[in-house]
Amino acid sequence: MVTGYAPIFGSMMAGSAFNCAAGALMLKNRIKYRCPVQDNPHSVNLCLKTEPADIDYIRCIKNNWSGETAAVSLRRAEV
């Protein structure tokens, strides 16, 4: 499942912190949040609606126009 929130906070690398926060909320609440941009010219598996989900692992990857990349991997803690 793919989603992107850069349209909300821009393409600056600090936006990775927002990706991390969104991912942590998804893991904690076990909810996948709808992708804000529904345009899908490459037919990727977009998250089209907010709904409960059995999520255990999230990888956030951010690329900016300068070619810099940030990656955050989050795994649900076992309780």
Q: What is the pLDDT of residues 51-61, one digit of tens each?
A: 999 999 988 88
Parse the chain into domains and list their residue ranges. 6-75
- Is the pLDDT reported for residue 63 higher than 90? no
Length of the chain equals: 79
pLDDT score of 57: 92
Q: What is the pLDDT of residues 7-46, one digit of tens each?
A: 666 666 677 788 788 888 989 999 998 888 888 788 888 8
Sequence-ordered alpha helix ranges (H) in the chain: 6-9, 15-29
